[in-house]
Amino acid sequence: MTVRVVIVDDQALVRAGFRMVLDSQPDLEVVGEAIDGADALRVLDRVEADVVVMDLRMPTMDGVEATRRICARATGGRPRVLVLTTFDTEADAFAALRAGASAFLLKNVPPEELLAAIRVVAEGDSVVAPSITRRLLDRFAGQLGPGPTEDPRLAQLTEREREVLLLVAQGLSNAEIAARVHVAEATVKTHVGRILAKLQLRDRVQAVVLAYESGLVTPGG
Amino acid sequence: MTVRVVIVDDQALVRAGFRMVLDSQPDLEVVGEAIDGADALRVLDRVEADVVVMDLRMPTMDGVEATRRICARATGGRPRVLVLTTFDTEADAFAALRAGASAFLLKNVPPEELLAAIRVVAEGDSVVAPSITRRLLDRFAGQLGPGPTEDPRLAQLTEREREVLLLVAQGLSNAEIAARVHVAEATVKTHVGRILAKLQLRDRVQAVVLAYESGLVTPGG
DNA sequence: GGATCAATGTGATCTGGGTCACATCCAGCG
DNA sequence: CGCTGGATGTGACCCAGATCACATTGATCC
């Protein structure tokens, strides 16, 4: 199964170089090129791609904005964006990753590493330059709690209750939840009541807080 | 300048293999071996090391605990710990990184990648396996940077209102907020009302959701 | 001064949401 | 079978919370 790649960079020489490197690989296929962010969006309207290799510094629409838009309209997680830039700055990297990039590499990596990274990204995983990885860890290692160890209290909930809790955590009223689940509003109320009792909470507001704090729901997700 | 490495793994065959690979490099030197976490601490009492290559699953003291202790007593960021394990689980990886590991790799990486990772770690940077990097980004990408996407509606809030919103987002009732801010409950109610009006929300539940989604408050933070 | 506007504070009123009591359904078990 | 227990569903009651109308303070401008 070949990986379809689109190259986005404002310098023709760089694009030609990347294309040369990628085309030398039997499992990679360059299906398009773009000279800036706006152009990239047009190209992606025409062709199906698995991975977009994106430069950051570009005229008209920079790589971060382009990445944000590509990820916003991505369906089924495709295409994924691999950002490749010259400048090793935390601001650029974090902005790109926040915008949805699946990978962040510096242009000084050896070609084999770029090729490996493209394959990794196509598989759905991620690669980040070592200097940026260190900064990521510096910032977030402390928050790596017991990991996916969900609040044990959540385990007490039945399937239905968990379903209702998710809707509560989206800000829906009991009536809206009732409509969504095809049940009487009174029923939703008892479900919520049971949820609060099991989780030892006072009201739905605290339920929402717990949902976020426990990782049952995550911002943006 | 050579990088001094200590290998920690309970299987003699694995240690021998690693030593063989590392010794083939002129810039790397294996200065010690240990068969478990406790042993590693003893070895590090005797020798100076730049990088510890650490297995996770070991008897007596596992790699996570050993990593924690090594990092706790590390001086000037030395030695750094590179965790190398067979199992690609989020729980193991996050636990190791939280304990202070500078790198997390799977044992199925090609030897060159391990060598490159050791050099990267010795330089003070970090490497994380792609599958784990993806999970890291899934969890933290939303928290990166100030985020140009901070909901502009939040800017309309006055200082007092923002203060109240923060308390609402912790699950406090109007009465509790009133006590905290030294105001009548009725006052808190109007503040909340104004907040809802400005943010175009229906009730405090949606306010909590917005607070989390906009990054005004973050889980754990 | 006085006129205006935003921020803040308070009480009165009405409704969504939480609590309680109870019914139904189904699985497991003696 | 009948019994028990958990999950689910429903209606009635009451209060926290949302809405409204209004007072006070202080800054700004003519």
CA distance A40 to B202: 39
A147 has a pLDDT exceeding 50: no
A145 has a pLDDT exceeding 70: no
Look at the block and give the residue holding tokens 């309309």. B156
Q: Which of B127, B8, B130, B113 is nearest to B57 (CA)?
A: B8
Q: Buried b vs exposed e over A137-155: b needs ≥16 C-beta within 10 Å?
A: beebbeebeebeeeeeebe
Helix (H) or strand (E) holding B103: strand B103-106
Question: What per-residue confidence (pLDDT) applies to A139?
Answer: 82
- Nearest beta carbon to residue A220 from set B133, B142, B221: B142
User: What is the percent of chain B with per-residue pLDDT over 70, rounded to a whole number?
Assistant: 95
Bases along strand D below 7 A from a protein CB: 6-12, 16-22
Query: pLDDT by residue (tens digit) across B88-110?
Result: 999 999 999 999 999 999 999 99
Query: Could you tell me the pLDDT band of residue A109, with boundaries at 50, 70 and 90?
Result: very high
CA distance A135 to A158: 40
Least confident of B10-14, B74-78, B82-86: B74-78
Question: What per-residue confidence (pLDDT) applies to A220?
Answer: 72
Paired sense of beta strands B103-106 and A127-128, if any = unpaired
Instruction: Give mean pLDDT, residues B125-131.
Output: 97
Question: What per-residue confidence (pLDDT) applies to A146?
Answer: 57
Could you tell me how many CB contacts below 8 A there are between chain A and chain B? Answer: 135
**Which nucleotide has its C1' atom closest to residue A186's CA?**
D10
B147 has a pLDDT exceeding 50: no
Distance B198 CA to D1 C1' (A): 64
Query: pLDDT by residue (tens digit) across B156-174?
Result: 889 999 999 999 999 999 9
**Which nucleotide has its C1' atom closest to residue B158's CA?**
C7
B84 has a pLDDT exceeding 50: yes
Residues 177-216 of chain A with CB under 7 A from strand C are 186, 189-190, 192-193, 196-197, 202-205
Partnered with residue A33 across adjacent β-strands are A7
Question: What per-residue confidence (pLDDT) applies to A148?
Answer: 44
Distance A131 CA to D9 C1' (A): 57
Q: Does residue A71 belong to the interface with chain B, where contact is any CB pair within 8 Å?
A: no
Question: What per-residue confidence (pLDDT) applies to A50?
Answer: 97
User: What is the percent of chain A with per-residue pLDDT over 90, rounded to a whole number?
Assistant: 79
Q: Between chains, do A98 and B215 touch, taking CB under 8 Å as contact?
A: no
Chain B: residue whose CA lies nearest to A211: B219
Cis peptide leading into residue B79 (ω within 30°): yes
| Main-chain dihedrals φ then ψ at residue A47, nearest 5 degrees | -115, 150
Instruction: Give mean pLDDT, residues B77-85.
Output: 93
Q: Which of A79, A74, A65, A126 is nearest to B149 (CA)?
A: A65
* Closest CA of chain A from B40, distance in Å: 23
Q: How many residues does chain A have?
A: 221
For residue B12, give Cα distances in angstroms to B1, B16, B81. 28, 6, 20
Instruction: Give mean pLDDT, residues A95-105.
Output: 95
Percentages helix, strand, coil for chain A, rounded to the nearest 5? 50, 15, 35
Q: Where are the alpha helices (H) located in B24-158, listed in sequence order?
A: 37-46, 63-73, 90-99, 111-122, 130-140
For residue B129, give Cα distances in angstroms to A112, B70, B75, B134, B187. 17, 22, 26, 9, 53
CA distance B103 to A41: 36
Query: pLDDT by residue (tens digit) across A33-87?
Result: 999 999 999 999 999 999 999 999 888 888 999 999 999 888 877 899 999 999 9
B146 has a pLDDT exceeding 90: no
- The reply to whether B131 has its C-beta less than 7 Å from any atom of strand D is no
* Spatial contact of B180 and B172, defined as CB atoms under 8 Å apart: yes
* Closest CA of chain A from B146, distance in Å: 9
A 10 A CB-CB count for B151 gives 15
- The reply to whether A191 has its C-beta less than 7 Å from any atom of strand D is yes
Partnered with residue B51 across adjacent β-strands are B5, B80
Instruction: Give mean pLDDT, residues A109-135.
Output: 96
Looking only at Cα atoms, what is the longest distance across chain A? Answer: 67
Quote the mean pLDDT of chain B.
91
Q: Between chains, do B134 and A148 touch, taking CB under 8 Å as contact?
A: no
Q: Does residue B134 belong to the interface with chain A, where contact is any CB pair within 8 Å?
A: yes
CA distance A184 to B151: 35
Residues 199-218 of chain B whose Cβ lies under 8 A from any Cβ of chain A: 201-206, 208-209, 212-213, 215, 218
Angle, helices A185-199 vs A204-213, to 10°: value is 60
Q: Does residue A12 belong to the interface with chain B, where contact is any CB pair within 8 Å?
A: no
Q: Which of B54, B53, B117, B218 is nearest to A127 (CA)?
A: B117
B149 has a pLDDT exceeding 60: no
* Closest CA of chain B from A61, distance in Å: 15
Among positive and negative, which fits the CA dihedral B165, B170, B172, B178? negative
- Nearest beta carbon to residue A126 from set B123, B133, B142: B133
| Main-chain dihedrals φ then ψ at residue A41, nearest 5 degrees | -65, -40
Who wins on pLDDT, B204 or A156? B204
Partnered with residue B3 across adjacent β-strands are B28
* Spatial contact of B137 and A97, defined as CB atoms under 8 Å apart: yes
Question: What per-residue confidence (pLDDT) applies to A160?
Answer: 92
Instruction: Kindly give, in sequence order, each residue whose CB lies less than 8 Å from that of residue B53, ignoring residues fewer than 6 positions away.
Output: B5, B6, B7, B8, B9, B18, B82, B84, B118
